[in-house]
Structures are given as structure tokens and as C-alpha cells.
Amino acid sequence: SQKIEQNSEALNIQEGKTATLTCNYTNYSPAYLQWYRQDPGRGPVFLLLIRENEKEKRKERLKVTFDTTLKQSLFHITASQPADSATYLCALPLGYQGGKLIFGQGTELSVKP
Amino acid sequence: EAQVTQNPRYLITVTGKKLTVTCSQNMNHEYMSWYRQDPGLGLRQIYYSMNVEVTDKGDVPEGYKVSRKEKRNFPLILESPSPNQTSLYFCASSFSGTANQPQHFGDGTRLSIL
């Protein structure tokens, strides 16, 4: 069955540095991959979506890459701020027609001032 | 304001007592879905609905029921709750449910079954 793995350990970085989070998947070739942010006690919030034929997507300080050969997506936050501290989830829609979405377990990011 | 609203936000109840968690969205979205989130297991999909009167199983549907009689509402029903259904539940909606559509989540319902 399809599986998604994200860094299980929390990532601690200093303010101003670039945070890089990893999402690896197996047994599937998705047409899209999505990234969400989740704050404690809140629902996930959509950040970025990348298509399989896009190598890279940017939105302000966020950058997502999608390597279909490695079956991996990287999520970067440049010039990180304490307000970026949250858990970040990657998600794979199963099939374009949709319906089913599987999530990674998430990586907790902590940005220290 | 565009939102997905879940009720209740917190519920403590006992084994076997039927309960319903409501979910409503005001974005005229076709697609709605329910997830549960457990430590170490992440978000897992319970049921989803591509449109009114159309529902389908996710990865963990056992012990749950859903119905979609109106576009805006998608209640989650636990007919006979058990302690292993203690979890944090999220409802989500998207425009069409296709892979290129982001999902909008509610703020969650924390359910404790004693």
C-alpha cells in the first residue's frame, strides 16, 4: 500500500536560517503533492501544491521541490521566524479524480529566536 | 468568512452511547471528508463524499457512519462508540475533491470515549 514518511524527529533551528523538511513516499506515483501547516489545537492549513511535472514551486519564503525519481518532496522555509514554528504535513492525493488523501505523520519545526 | 465548522469541539462520553459530530461548510464545496488524528499515526481518512448522496470509505471506516443529504453538511456518526475511537477528529472540504484542490479543515473535535 502507499506510504508517506516524514522526518519523525522535531527540527530545531535558529531564527534566520533555512528549514528543510523531507517527505518520502513509496508504492505510488502521485500527480500532485500537497503541504499543510498545523498549529497545536488547530486544523491543518493548506500551504502549497506541486504537480509532478513541476520541479519547484515558490510562495513568498516557502519553496517546495518534487523529485519523482527519488519519490521525494522537500519543503524549505527561508529566513525562518519563530512564528513558523508548527507541524508541517505532506499529503498525497490518490488518483486525480480524487477523494482519497493520505498524510505523512508530520514534522514539528521549532524556530528559536 | 469561509470556514468549516465542527461541533462539538470537545466531548467526553461512555462506551455504547450513540453520538454525532456535525460538520458544516459555507464555501459551496462539492467534496467533504472526515479524518482522525492519533499520536504516532498521523491523520487518517475515515470517509469522504464527492457530492450529495455520494460517500465512500477512507482508510479507517470501521465503527463510523456518514451521510450527505445536503451539500453543506457532512455529519459523522458513531453508533456504538468504543474507547479505541478516542481521538481528535477533523472535517475538511474542497471545491471538487480532485487531486489539485487544497482541503480546508475545521478546528477539530476532541472525543474521549470512556
Report whether pLDDT(B16) > 90.
yes
Smallest Cα–Cα separation from A98: which of B30, B19, B97? B97
Cα–Cα distance measured from residue B57 to residue A94, given in angstroms and rounded to the nearest whole number: 13
Measure in Å the smallest separation between the Cα of B107 and chain A Cα atoms.
5
Report whether pLDDT(A99) > 90.
no
> Which among A53, A57, A101, A107 is the top mutation candidate for probing chain B, defined by the most B β-carbons within 10 Å of its own β-carbon?
A101
Query: Mean per-residue pLDDT for A10-14?
Result: 95
Query: Mean per-residue pLDDT for B74-103?
Result: 95
Q: SS3 letters for A68-86?
A: CCCCEEEEEECCCCHHHCE
> Which among A4, A45, A100 is the top mutation candidate for probing chain B, defined by the most B β-carbons within 10 Å of its own β-carbon?
A100
Length of chain A: 113
Query: Mean per-residue pLDDT for A68-94?
Result: 95
Cβ-Cβ pairs closer than 8 A, A with B, add up to 71
Cα–Cα distance measured from residue A16 to residue A84, given in angstroms and rounded to the nearest whole number: 11
Report whether pLDDT(B103) > 90.
yes
Query: Mean per-residue pLDDT for A84-111?
Result: 90
**What pLDDT does A85 receive?**
98
Measure in Å the smallest separation between the Cα of A30 and chain B Cα atoms.
9
**What pLDDT does B40 receive?**
85
Structure-model confidence comparison of residues B40 and A19, the more confident one: A19
Report whether pLDDT(B73) > 90.
yes
Report whether pLDDT(A2) > 80.
no
Query: Mean per-residue pLDDT for B40-67?
Result: 94
Report whether pLDDT(A95) > 90.
no
Phi/psi of residue B27, nearest 5 degrees: -105, 5
